Amino acid sequence: MTHVANAPAPAPVNAAPAWRREVVDIARTLACALLLVFVVRTVLFQPFTIPSSSMEPGLVTGDYIVVSKYRYGWSTASLPFNPPVKPGRLLARSPARGDVVVFRRPNDPSTAWVKRVVGLPGDTVQVRSGQVFINGHAVKRTPRGMTQDHDAPERQVLAVHETLGDGRDYVTYDGGPSRPGDDTDVYRVPAGRYFVMGDNRDNSLDSRWPAEVGVGLLPAENLIGRAEIVLASWKPGAGLTRPRTWLNLQTDRFLKPIR
């Protein structure tokens, strides 16, 4: 009688390699996603939240804006944490007069500020009785009447429609006559610098003050990009650490282009 030897039992399937492969695949996917976010934020677009009232009425506290970083080329200001490498801009392009720009404050590069470009390299800028003069020519001002300050309703301000020489226009706030910054010397903007101002003229530290107090003449390498659109806006007091405030939205400010 012939005996057949028992076949060896199949080896147990080791699931560990498959588990490790899955973890590696997830890690690669996350790494690619993070790299994509980093590239988009560094090269193309970056969001910012408006923390102050200096650019009212166009931008108000709580606005969540998108900044295009490719408009003016790139510098170390475009990179996270503003690393201390060689200054200058790659593929540099100048802002247009009237652009709303986000930049690193010269006296504190860890903070980002937002203002409007008023003077370009080679310009002279002066403020007389609250009116801006560029190269000796007054920026046209059309009063639109008294209104409430958006962030401080108890404060009455004059809404003023300003029109630049090329026809670009926007609205500013005037808190009254004889305020600090209403009368200045003549500023001559050198090459590689810009003169910037807040639209809330009597509630803005900008190029009318030296860098130790405000901005001074803004170096081109400090530019981060141009403010393009308000994606959404939260009422003052809302914050990520307070979940009950997440729906405290200013719904009339969604998807507002920034003029």
Smallest Cα–Cα separation from 182: which of 200, 195, 169, 201? 201
Is 54 a catalytic site residue?
Answer: yes
Q: 3-class secondary structure for the chain?
A: CCCCCCCCCCCCCCCHHHHHHHHHHHHHHHHHHHHHHHHHHHHHEEEEECCCCCCCCCCCCCEEEEEECCCCCECHHHCCCCCCCCCCCECCCCCCCCCEEEEEECCEEEEEEEEEEEECCCCEEEEECCEEEECCEECEEEEEEEEECCCCCCCEEEEEEEECCCCCEEEEEECCCCCCCCCCCCEECCCCEEEEECCEHHHCCCCCCCCCCCCCCEEHHHEEEEEEEEEEEECCCCECCEHHHCCCECHHHCCEECC
Q: CB–CB of 174/202 below 8 Å? A: yes
Is 129 a catalytic site residue?
Answer: no
Given 54, 75, 204, 233, the catalytic residue: 54
Q: Hey, what are 27's tokens?
A: 């890690």
Q: CB–CB of 236/249 below 8 Å? A: no
Given 53, 75, 78, 115, the catalytic residue: 115
So which residues are the catalytic ones? Answer: 54, 115
